[in-house]
Structure 1
């Protein structure tokens, strides 16, 4: 019941207009091995605010209060294995240390800056993964799939004007990824639907993202649709991409064939006209020479 209330509170405050620009939480992502210690930091620039609460949100969405700091005094929750240090005052650093990490320590951690009877502000969050020692950190393999023929037929029957491209990223561990789309080098967010979270299949993860594009773009031969997956490898963020090109629109070959036939006919007509012009020119020259010769004989 307490977890449910905290979860509702978390969502309410986060949606209420809290500004990340005034609260800075680091690092954004971190990997740790079992038994290691992770240290998270939170600092804010809000005048007269002096309280920081720390929360842990598990992969199931449950939110747990770990404790809070009031100025430089720490108040961890009972039964929670964390240490809080520093200060919650403006421009001071508050730290959260989690020791002897185990797989259940994998979660997203948030700091919340508040003052009684005033609006609260969340940090950006820190995604912490406690690694499985039997699995190697591996970036994803990315592939973009074109629309199925059945989808195309169904959409044309319904009169819809969109096609769906699917980006599939597979074989990565852990699940620290973000998906982005580009069309001919331009970022695109409209029409994008990405899975809320990666799904673990065996040892590794998989995530999909879908992009709905207008028919005119899909049926533009050579237009490039690129899907990029950003993956944090523990030291830096690396990128893996897949792409697909637009195809020739229906009827384009018929139109092109008709155009080629018209062009060919025009060429033939032009050659015939040139040939006739040459014949006519030769005839005129011959006639002029003949008339000149006849005139000379008469003068003699």
Structure 2
């Protein structure tokens, strides 16, 4: 980003690249040496310093074919500029050290994603924290989180979603239900049973079935824990990703494999505007990581 600063004198804007060129010339002792340090051409450095002198209306360097030295004004300006750069470096370091990427989720964070984030953070040299937020965007809409792993993307909120992978569904039924003794059930026959629906972070709603054969809603809740207790109490059945069968046991709930069920899409979501730079980096890395895994 090109940050411009209005000088106290003169009528031309100056920018940080001109300051960097001037400092490099002083430290290298020549325009050629400064160009090598900055990986640019010598004329680029020369023009930058000339524009800086014009903007400040001051001669900063004494030039000759054999010698380059600071003028009195240049010596004072260089000392002040070096001090300002030290303060700038400190400010950037403090900001970087305090910048924590907050990754939201509603429930059941998959192991492969946790491992990926840990590796990404280590390679990028950043810190992160997982934040559970029982809202439709796992905290994105409120700014509580910077990026979120979602299994359902709300249509009425401004988020951009990157699909990562799909999960297989299983049915969750009360242990005393006739379905609990089955080896498997078919997706279509689940429409004959009342449905426990998590309206905030759940992945199952009646409109996933054909219009003429949809389940009635037996209970409504707003988070996964409430949903699990409603299923355990026999208020209806539910379907969740297979991960729940391994990670979220309940003495009164049985998970049954489901055939012909629609998969659950897992996506990484960011705000449509003003996303955290680290969140954008994470999304780019996740796209490479999981698209490659799907290709295999």
Q: TM-score, normalised by structure 2?
A: 0.23
More helix as a share of residues: 2
Computing the radius of gyration over CA atoms, which structure comes out larger, 1 or 2?
1
TM-score (norm 1): 0.23
Q: Report which structure shows greater RCO (CA 8 Å, sep ≥6).
A: 2
